[in-house]
Chain A
Amino acid sequence: MPYRKSYRKLFLFLLTIPVLLFIFLPILWLFSASLSTQVELFTVPPHWIPQHPTFQNYLDIFFPSLAASAVPRTFTVSLYNSFKIASFVTVICIVIGSLAAYALVRIPFKFNNTIKVGILAIRMIPEVSLILPLFIIASRLEMINKPIVLILAYMSFALPYAIWMMAAFFQTVPIELEEAARLDGCTRLGILFRIVMPISGPGLVSTAMFVFLVAWDEFFYALIFTSTLASKTVPVAIAEFVGRYAVNITGMMAGGILAALPPVILALIFQRYIVSGMTAGAVKG
């Protein structure tokens, strides 16, 4: 009955509105506030859309030499640091993780199951348990404030995660293909590189994206292991801005928008892979 159906559609559509509001209003407010001046931000009742919008806050960040406060100046450096570290972590995890994942799903050998359980368990270890000894060891090895220490520290959660995800994706490659290749005389490694990986391409993209996002997002290790300008990452920079009730709140808001852009854009570009990544290896039969 088309009559009833359209009522139902309308009802459902109306339901989506509060959800969309819930998602977008906070972001829109942040964005609008980042376009306003400090003085305007403090007016009561608030101007939801700034009457005198300005891009000054963003300009301060991109052209730090002109900026009034030290806050925006450090921001671009931290963007670069975050990008560098997240990229390295992603590449390393995909490279060595894919090898391990393949071995775990396709090669039956004695400790296979134990290692699988072990990796899952390790994924569960909270950061806070590792941070103190890693900190002590890193300081003894004089690695504090160098990117390498964050990259290694991030391995502790990114690598098991990557292995687990890729294992699930590799699992979905039809075993017959591998069988056929085997009969053609392919070695294990050959199968991995020539058959499994190309087919699970989307899975690898998904994993890479997840690892990148997780590394970009990480705060606790970055807070402790990187204190100087030269090495701090975006979350640490943001936390430092927020910690001050400084003169430049609108500047910080601009920074917040900019800090959110790379991961959000990345996630939106690869959105097809997000859900499959989240449910890695699940629902497909």
Chain B
Amino acid sequence: MGGFAFQRKSTHIFDMTANSKAFPKRPFSLRQKEARTAWLLLVPSLVVILGVTLWPVIYTFVLSFFYAPTGIHQVRTFVGLTNYLNMLKDQTFWQTIGRTLYFTLGSVGLELILGLAIAQLIHSRPPGWKFLRVSLIIPWAIPTIVIGAMWRWIYSGDFGALNGLLMQLGLIKHYIPWLTLPNAAMPLVILADVWHMMPFVALILQAALATLPAELDEAAVVDGANAWQVFWKIRFPLLQPAILVALIARTVDAFRVFDIVYIITNGGPAFKTMTITYLTYLNSFSYGKQGTGAALSFLISLFTMIMAFVYIRILYRPEENQ
């Protein structure tokens, strides 16, 4: 889950000029007073946030240079970059990164395509469009773990609905244990995730569509454009900011997926659905190798930060205009 603000330039919170217009000329003492008020208002939040994020991130960074097996009386040995080097040399690590990217691209890609299609559908106001829009909320609101459990049961090789359906349609002769097939497992997990998060994309894009002036469409139709051209040449470019926001929000979240993998396949079969967060969990809490876990955590944060940085740069460049 995640919602991000996407903006038209003039109302964005990064735009300082809008704020200062309200209080154009202020004497220095007033500005000082204002600043003090601002800090007072911010302090509780900042204390909490920095306390639970900045401090742990630094702690993780430091811990990653130690060999730290869990135990009552933990003995930490400084090992320098060994944890990182071991990880980069480990085939499992790279395979896991690959699988995480597979999941991310598959999941986000499908969500975008489906989300866009459904947003368009709603926008064209078919009968019952309100019901459709409200229904979309349901998969999104259901807790991820419940969704994982539900799909795990659907895929079950003993009583699952998928097997039942395929058998009744005559497509299979006996039940197949889907989640044990190494190549089927990840697509099935992706399907579950798409079911869960596609509504988020669809609703954002639909809201964005709703703000597009109707005259544009009409003008295009008058000019003789068919539906496909209307979409591609007119709507799509205007939707780009919204698509970008949804895309980045989903990508950042999909990369660090854990819950749904944990519940549907536990990383199996044969680690085929192992994602990078799951690997970190295993190292930190199952194998008890906190140093390795810390190194992995730090690498993931680094990667996410880079993505975040790219996001901020792309989205909030002052020249970004449409």
Give CA–CA (A128, B5) in the complex, Å.
24
B126, A16: Cβ atoms closer than 8 Å: yes
Chain A residues 250-285 with CB under 8 Å of chain B are 252-253, 256, 259-260, 263-264, 266-268, 271, 274-285
B41, A102: Cβ atoms closer than 8 Å: yes
B63, A132: Cβ atoms closer than 8 Å: yes
Give CA–CA (A263, B41) in the complex, Å.
31
Give CA–CA (A159, B125) in the complex, Å.
37
B129, A16: Cβ atoms closer than 8 Å: yes
Q: Nearest residue in A to B3 (C-beta to C-beta)? A: A278
Q: A163 contacts which chain B residues (CB < 8 A)? A: 45
Give CA–CA (A156, B281) in the complex, Å.
18
Q: Does A186 contact B (CB under 8 A)?
A: no
Give CA–CA (A165, B13) in the complex, Å.
11
Q: Does A182 contact B (CB under 8 A)?
A: yes
Q: A171 contacts which chain B residues (CB < 8 A)? A: 11-13, 18
B56, A134: Cβ atoms closer than 8 Å: yes
Least CB distance, B226 to chain A, in whole angstroms: 13
Least CB distance, A257 to chain B, in whole angstroms: 8
Q: Does B128 contact A (CB under 8 A)?
A: yes
Give CA–CA (A276, B210) in the complex, Å.
12
Give CA–CA (A176, B296) in the complex, Å.
50
Give CA–CA (A99, B276) in the complex, Å.
36
Q: B233 contacts which chain A residues (CB < 8 A)? A: none
| Given A164-B5, A224-B285, A281:B13 Cβ within 8 A | yes
Q: Does A63 contact B (CB under 8 A)?
A: no
A238, B149: Cβ atoms closer than 8 Å: yes
Which residue in B6, B21, B53, B118 is a CB contact (below 8 Å) of A279?
B6
A23, B207: Cβ atoms closer than 8 Å: no
Q: Nearest residue in B to A97 (C-beta to C-beta)? A: B45
Least CB distance, A262 to chain B, in whole angstroms: 9
A100, B46: Cβ atoms closer than 8 Å: yes
| Given A41-B159, A271-B134, A167:B297 Cβ within 8 A | no
Q: Nearest residue in A to B290 (C-beta to C-beta)? A: A132
Give CA–CA (A277, B3) in the complex, Å.
7
Q: B121 contacts which chain A residues (CB < 8 A)? A: 12, 15-16, 19
The interface size bin for chain A is: 35 or more
Give CA–CA (A263, B141) in the complex, Å.
6
| Given A41-B159, A279-B6, A263:B301 Cβ within 8 A | no
B132, A16: Cβ atoms closer than 8 Å: yes
A156, B53: Cβ atoms closer than 8 Å: yes
Chain A residues 128-158 with CB under 8 Å of chain B are 128-137, 152-153, 155-156
| Given A96-B44, A213-B141, A279-B208, A128:B300 Cβ within 8 A | yes
Which residue in A20, A172, A264, A285 is a CB contact (below 8 Å) of B141?
A264
Least CB distance, A181 to chain B, in whole angstroms: 11
Chain A residues 1-57 with CB under 8 Å of chain B are 9, 12-13, 15-16, 19-20, 22-24, 26-27, 29-30, 33, 41-42, 44-46, 48
Which residue in A26, A133, A159 is a CB contact (below 8 Å) of B63?
A133
Q: Does A124 contact B (CB under 8 A)?
A: yes
B11, A178: Cβ atoms closer than 8 Å: no
Q: Does B78 contact A (CB under 8 A)?
A: no
Q: A220 contacts which chain B residues (CB < 8 A)? A: 258-259, 277, 281
A126, B256: Cβ atoms closer than 8 Å: yes
Which residue in B4, B23, B284 is a CB contact (below 8 Å) of A132?
B284
Q: Does A120 contact B (CB under 8 A)?
A: yes
| Given A132-B63, A133-B63, A242-B149, A124:B137 Cβ within 8 A | no
Which one, B85-93, B177-185, B216-224, B302-310, is touching chain A? B302-310
Which residue in A33, A113, A282 is a CB contact (below 8 Å) of B153?
A33
Least CB distance, B322 to chain A, in whole angstroms: 13
A271, B137: Cβ atoms closer than 8 Å: yes
| B31-42 interface code vs A (CB 8 A; 1 in, 0 out) | 100110111011
Give CA–CA (A256, B153) in the complex, Å.
11
Q: B210 contacts which chain A residues (CB < 8 A)? A: 283
Give CA–CA (A42, B305) in the complex, Å.
47
Q: Does B65 contact A (CB under 8 A)?
A: no
Q: Does B83 contact A (CB under 8 A)?
A: no
Q: Does A72 contact B (CB under 8 A)?
A: no
Q: Does A108 contact B (CB under 8 A)?
A: yes
| Given A113-B16, A279-B6, A252:B126 Cβ within 8 A | no
Q: Nearest residue in B to A23 (C-beta to C-beta)? A: B135
- New A-B pairs, 12, CB < 8 Å, besides A164-B4, A189-B41: A12-B121, A16-B128, A19-B132, A24-B135, A45-B168, A102-B41, A125-B57, A131-B297, A160-B49, A274-B203, A278-B3, A281-B7
- Closest CB pairs A-B (n = 6): A12-B126, A46-B164, A267-B141, A133-B56, A100-B45, A124-B308
Q: Which residues of A contact B (CB under 8 A)?
A: 9, 12-13, 15-16, 19-20, 22-24, 26-27, 29-30, 33, 41-42, 44-46, 48, 96-97, 99-100, 102-110, 112-113, 115-117, 119-122, 124-137, 152-153, 155-156, 159-161, 163-165, 167-168, 171-172, 175, 178-179, 182, 188-189, 210, 213-214, 216-217, 219-220, 224, 234-235, 238-239, 241-242, 249, 252-253, 256, 259-260, 263-264, 266-268, 271, 274-285
Interchain Cβ contacts under 8 Å between A and B, 11 examples: A44-B167, A120-B312, A121-B312, A124-B252, A160-B49, A167-B13, A235-B145, A242-B148, A264-B137, A282-B6, A282-B242
